[in-house]
Amino acid sequence: MAYFRKLKSTTLLRCLVVPALFLCAIFKKPAFQWIALAALAVWLCASLSDVFLAIKRKRNQKAAQRTLAQLNAPVQQPSKKSDLTPESELFLIRQVNFRITEQLKATYPMVSWLWVKRPSADDLCKGGVWRIRIANTEPFNFGEVELNRSGKITIMLLQATPLKETEAKPLSSTDLEEDELLDRVDVKSWYDSEGEKVLAQMIDDLNTQGHRKLVIHESGEVVITASGTEQVIDVIRNFPPRLAWDEFCQVLREDEITATIQPDGLALSW
């Protein structure tokens, strides 16, 4: 049987079963029929053996692949736990607290402070920066504690103020000095390039509606008074700043437009 297992099922069919069937067909004797049946049985056994061996071979290959994947997978190192005991951790944190207090008291004798988020002993050993809240250190109310791996402590004091409590800074259109601003504003060029056309159209429209006056604010808003209330009708872009309105009034007088500087803006009448 070992010899037959080594042979392929097709080889057995060609060399064993087919000749036996030819003998049965030629001689037509019971003996040859039994020989053909035996040959067919041998061929069936060999075929089934090939199937079982193929299945077993695939299972062995899959098992080998799983074993190889497990061997190649990175070995997860167990997380290293801190060697410090709870007592040692508490002692370390207290030592850092005392050192911070000593540095603060050297400048502010009545200081008191708290961690915003208390670090662990492992964090202190690694080093880093942590925020603290401090008191009796006006005008400072916060600090940043930096601890490096060598054990050096550096403290930076901070002043944090709520936005609502800060004083609003007046809005300034420019930080230039008045003389420098006037040098940079060319009222005549602006009026010839765009201002004259805008104002002429605006005055013509208002004149047809019975208005004889308008006011231009510093922001460029053009307002008229109707029924005792001001109404914004337009906005002039790149309107000259108040510092250049004296020169602008002279330019307007050349076009027979009366301009008067008022606290709320530049008043034009026609």
Which tens digit of pLDDT belongs to each residue from 151-210? 889 999 998 887 776 666 555 544 545 555 555 567 888 888 888 888 888 888 887 787
Amino acid identity, position 242: R
Is the entire prediction scored with pTM above 0.85?
no
Which position has the higher pLDDT, 14 or 202? 202
In the predicted structure, residue 78 carries a pLDDT above the cut 60: no
Cis before 139 (ω within 30): yes
Strands 258-262 and 265-269: antiparallel
User: Residue 164: its pLDDT value, please?
Assistant: 73
Question: Is the domain covering 178-269 a CATH 3.30.1490 domain?
Answer: no
- Residue 31 Cα distances to 41, 121, 162, angstroms: 15, 94, 112
Q: What residues contact residue 178 under an 8 Å CB cut-off, 6+ apart?
A: 243
- Please compute the mean of the pLDDT values over residues 223-230 and round it to a whole number: 81
User: Residue 101: its pLDDT value, please?
Assistant: 92
- Please compute the mean of the pLDDT values over residues 237-245 and round it to a whole number: 86
Q: What percent of the chain has pLDDT over 70?
A: 70
Residues β-bridged to residue 222: 216, 234
User: Residue 71: its pLDDT value, please?
Assistant: 66
What is the overall mean pLDDT for the chain? 78
